[in-house]
Amino acid sequence: MVAGTLVAAAGTYQIAGLLLDREHRGLNVSATLAEPAHFSSLESGLLVLCLVGSATLFFRRFGPILRNILRSKKDADFSLSPVGRRVWEFFSEVLCQSKVIRQRPLPGLAHAFVFWGFLAFALVSLNHLANGVGLGFLAPESIVGRFYFLFAAAWALLVAVSIAGLFIRRFFVRPIWLGEKLSYESGWIAFLIFLLMVSYLGAFFVSDAGMAVKALWWTHTLALVVFLPLIPHTKHLHLVISPVTVFLKRDGFSKIPPLAGDEDFGLVAGKDVTQLISLQAYSCVECGRCTEHCPAANTGKVLNPKEIVLGVRSYLNEFGPSSETPLLAESRGAAPTDAHQRLLSMEAAFECTTCGSCEYQCPVGIQHVPIIVGLRRGATNTGAWEDDYGTKLFLALEKHGNALGLGAMERDKFIQKQAFPIFDGTQEYCLWLGCMGGYDPKGREIIADFARVMQYLGTTFGVLKKEKCTGDPARRLGNDLVFQTLAESGLKAFETAKVQKIVAICPHCVRTIANDWREFGVAPEIEHHSEFMARHKDRLPKQGGESIVYHDPCYLGRYQDVYEEPRAVVALAGSLVEAPRSHERSFCCGAGGGLAFLGEEQGERVSHVRAKELAGTGAEVVGTACPFCNTMFRDALTAVSEAPPQLLDIAQLTARAIPASQKEAGGVQ
């Protein structure tokens, strides 16, 4: 005990002695940054040489990249407006790092500290290099200097800790999203950043004179000189271009640009790659957030959205932006002749459900869905995509105007049986049936129940006499001919019937009519039945406490930002349970992008993964708001669960509480 106290006392004495002796020993812990007192002309010359060399190496790589971007085809539909939104997103996503942090809080925050640290360091680095040629402008002793260098020191500390954390994450925790192969270049970059910070902080511990300060100064300088050319050679290119990418990204979520001119069939070859796509491809930082959330990549399919982006980049590097070489390889061969063929394949492009989680997650402004749909357009519009199911779907749409390939008579019979009034301009709403509502047995139940809800509320509605598919599956599978034909015929039908307001049960229909049809004309105002019912929730019956887990459809949530309305409807029908992945992180049912109509999936079924998750919540009911999700889960829930929860659309959840007298007698079929 006594001995311990003695040792501790001795230790204290020693530390005190060190501090007292600090000047004697040359260790100078001060609040002022030490700067080398003098640079010989040889040193200055050497510095200039290093900087010129570094800049040359930087531009030797950055130049060709910039040329590839600038020489890519112009984006015909690009417009800077709305500038306000662009400025806001730049502020939020770049300066505040909102997306980086929100979707991956811990590594996101670490990244944000490094980013903010870099910003704080810009002035420090400039002054640092200027010192080397005797042009330093920020004196460490001045008030501004004193304050700023300490401010930067605080950031240096945060950056050093953060980058060390990120290094540990990448090399020891090793999340699979970062790729199977360890990226050693990232290790080098992390090391250089760490070195930059340590060599800066070190200058607070030495005196202005002497070798130590010079050594630190040169270490810092060399780290800078090596760092610069590494930027364009690695994914750290995002440092330079991703702020521009975020600012310039196409307005609107998952927006598919119109084809420009008679020679544009989508992304067939390099010549079709637009400037925005090039810019986005070079911005990819390979963080793998897109992969992490991709339903295809998570169920053993070939598609990996990150590889699509890297494939475009690798194509541009190899062939350039005016090449005629096809972008898509037929399928991923064992030994592809070109590097990009390993990444871009027809097979992968047609496995996308267009759920948009990749695009939603991307922190550098890459818009994956337009790229993937663009590749599909290139394949479908030229007839290169040969798929029995796809052809069957397109022929059904050409011939029958509905995706299910049934005769229009079937819809007529259903309308008659339900005694739905035909829209004649006197009713408030045009009730859009859609392919599912008009032809699919389960979809018909949903439509019939929603019609009952409208009747209960006393809202007048009518259905169109003839209705064709909105063209959604053709649009997402890249068949512009079928899509345009259907869009034009749909717009005409609404115009002829003088429709003012539409309500639909299918988020795909709503999105396609409201957004995609704009290319060909102005559609009447359309809303999803969740929005309609949420608006009238005070007049809808409140039910008991059955637990209901709500599944966010991709085309309602991410595509249209409608999250709360369906929840309000579910909350009326029972107690709302959230799925492990919900809201903007909801996991796809597997039906989108026209995939509901294609053949069997490779690997695990997307619907099974999601159904397991929904059943796993223990909720008594699975609540859906999209007839496609509903149809996917109908089979999946029975397959994954022995006692599957009930599966009901929000319209059915509401209609079941409507007093029997309000219900119409008779079956749905």
Compute the distance between CA of residue 77 and CA of residue 264 in angstroms, rounded to an integer. 13
- Residue among 40, 176, 181, 388 that touches other proteins (CB under 8 A): 388
Q: Is 416 in the site for other proteins (CB under 8 A)?
A: no
Q: How far is the CB of 370 from other proteins (least distance, A)?
A: 17
Q: What amino acid occupies position 581? A: R
Q: How far is the CB of 404 from other proteins (least distance, A)?
A: 13
Contact between 246 and 94 under an 8 Å Cβ cutoff? The reply is yes
Nearer to other proteins, 264 or 445 (CB): 264
Nearer to other proteins, 378 or 645 (CB): 378
Q: Is 322 in the site for other proteins (CB under 8 A)?
A: no
Compute the distance between CA of residue 568 and CA of residue 526 in angstroms, rounded to an integer. 20
Residues 6+ apart with CB under 8 A from 465: 422, 423, 497
CA distances from 436 to 439, 483, 485 (A): 5, 18, 20
Per-residue binding letters, 423-462, with other proteins (x by CB under 8 A): ----------------------------------------
Q: How far is the CB of 412 from other proteins (least distance, A)?
A: 9
Compute the distance between CA of residue 126 and CA of residue 105 in angstroms, rounded to an integer. 31
Q: How far is the CB of 273 from other proteins (least distance, A)?
A: 18
Question: For residue 461, what is the enclosing H or E element?
Answer: strand 461-462
Nearer to other proteins, 526 or 595 (CB): 595
Binding-site size, other proteins (CB under 8 A): 22
Compute the distance between CA of residue 402 and CA of residue 410 in angstroms, rounded to an integer. 11
Residues 6+ apart with CB under 8 A from 547: 574, 575, 577, 618, 619, 620, 621
Compute the distance between CA of residue 473 and CA of residue 403 in angstroms, rounded to an integer. 8
Burial classification of residue 548, based on how many CB atoms lie within 10 Å of its CB (0-12 exposed, 13-18 middle, 19 or more buried): buried
Q: Is 113 in the site for other proteins (CB under 8 A)?
A: no
Compute the distance between CA of residue 428 and CA of residue 51 in angstroms, rounded to an integer. 71
Nearer to other proteins, 391 or 460 (CB): 391
Q: Is 398 in the site for other proteins (CB under 8 A)?
A: yes
Cis-peptide into 82, omega within 30 deg:
yes
- Residue among 92, 322, 382, 662 that touches other proteins (CB under 8 A): 382
Q: Is 481 in the site for other proteins (CB under 8 A)?
A: yes
Q: Is 399 in the site for other proteins (CB under 8 A)?
A: yes
Q: Is 479 in the site for other proteins (CB under 8 A)?
A: yes
Nearer to other proteins, 187 or 407 (CB): 407
Q: Is 600 in the site for other proteins (CB under 8 A)?
A: no
Return the structure tokens found at 372. Answer: 């993937």
Residue 282: which region, alpha, beta or left (left: phi > 0; alpha: psi -120 to 50)?
alpha
Stretch near other proteins under the rule CB under 8 A, chosen from 93-101, 153-161, 242-250, 392-400: 392-400
- Residue among 408, 493, 639, 668 that touches other proteins (CB under 8 A): 408
Q: Is 469 in the site for other proteins (CB under 8 A)?
A: no
Burial classification of residue 417, based on how many CB atoms lie within 10 Å of its CB (0-12 exposed, 13-18 middle, 19 or more buried): middle
Q: How far is the CB of 398 from other proteins (least distance, A)?
A: 7
Nearer to other proteins, 313 or 476 (CB): 476
- Residue among 45, 134, 407, 580 that touches other proteins (CB under 8 A): 407
8-state DSSP, 411 = H
Q: How far is the CB of 571 from other proteins (least distance, A)?
A: 43
Q: How far is the CB of 409 from other proteins (least distance, A)?
A: 5
Q: Under rule CB under 8 A, which residues in 232-261 are in contact with other proteins?
A: 259
Q: Is 613 in the site for other proteins (CB under 8 A)?
A: no
Q: How far is the CB of 462 from other proteins (least distance, A)?
A: 20
Nearer to other proteins, 187 or 599 (CB): 599
- Residue among 380, 560, 607, 631 that touches other proteins (CB under 8 A): 380
Q: How far is the CB of 304 from other proteins (least distance, A)?
A: 28
Nearer to other proteins, 49 or 395 (CB): 395
- Residue among 472, 480, 552, 601 that touches other proteins (CB under 8 A): 480
Q: Is 468 in the site for other proteins (CB under 8 A)?
A: no
Compute the distance between CA of residue 89 and CA of residue 244 in angstroms, rounded to an integer. 11
Whose CA is closest to 185, among 152, 226, 213? 226
CA distances from 573 to 294, 566, 618 (A): 31, 11, 17
Stretch near other proteins under the rule CB under 8 A, chosen from 385-393, 492-500, 540-548, 625-633: 385-393
Q: Is 391 in the site for other proteins (CB under 8 A)?
A: yes
Please name the residue that has the structure tokens 């702020």.
243
Per-residue binding letters, 258-277, with other proteins (x by CB under 8 A): -x--x--x------------
Output the CA angle 271-276-282, nearest 5 degrees.
90
Q: Is 418 in the site for other proteins (CB under 8 A)?
A: no
Q: Under rule CB under 8 A, which residues in 154-193 are in contact with other proteins?
A: none
Q: What amino acid occupies position 77? A: D
Compute the distance between CA of residue 237 and CA of residue 240 in angstroms, rounded to an integer. 6
Stretch near other proteins under the rule CB under 8 A, chosen from 54-62, 344-352, 406-414, 660-668: 406-414
Question: H helices within 94-183, ranges in order?
Answer: 98-103, 105-132, 143-168
Q: Is 394 in the site for other proteins (CB under 8 A)?
A: yes
Residues 6+ apart with CB under 8 A from 35: 131, 136, 140, 203, 208, 213, 217
Nearer to other proteins, 147 or 389 (CB): 389
Compute the distance between CA of residue 357 and CA of residue 590 in angstroms, rounded to an integer. 13
Stretch near other proteins under the rule CB under 8 A, chosen from 198-206, 230-238, 285-293, 474-482: 474-482
| SS3 at position 501 | strand
- Residue among 34, 223, 349, 482 that touches other proteins (CB under 8 A): 482
Stretch near other proteins under the rule CB under 8 A, chosen from 181-189, 320-328, 389-397, 429-437: 389-397
Residue 389: which region, alpha, beta or left (left: phi > 0; alpha: psi -120 to 50)?
alpha
Whose CA is closest to 277, among 99, 62, 72, 85? 72
Q: How many C-beta atoms lie closer than 10 Å to residue 340's C-beta?
A: 25
Nearer to other proteins, 313 or 468 (CB): 468
Compute the distance between CA of residue 547 and CA of residue 648 in angstroms, rounded to an integer. 12
User: Which residues on adjacent β-strands are paired with residue 422?
Assistant: 463
Return the structure tokens found at 560. Answer: 């249209």
Compute the distance between CA of residue 230 and CA of residue 167 in angstroms, rounded to an integer. 17
The CA-based diameter of the chain, rounded to the nearest angstrom, is: 100
Nearer to other proteins, 33 or 379 (CB): 379
Q: Under rule CB under 8 A, which residues in 201-230 are in contact with other proteins?
A: none
Stretch near other proteins under the rule CB under 8 A, chosen from 119-127, 301-309, 334-342, 379-387: 379-387
Q: Is 383 in the site for other proteins (CB under 8 A)?
A: yes
Q: Catalog residues that contact other proteins under the rule CB under 8 A.
A: 259, 262, 265, 380-383, 388, 390-391, 394-395, 398-400, 407-409, 479-482
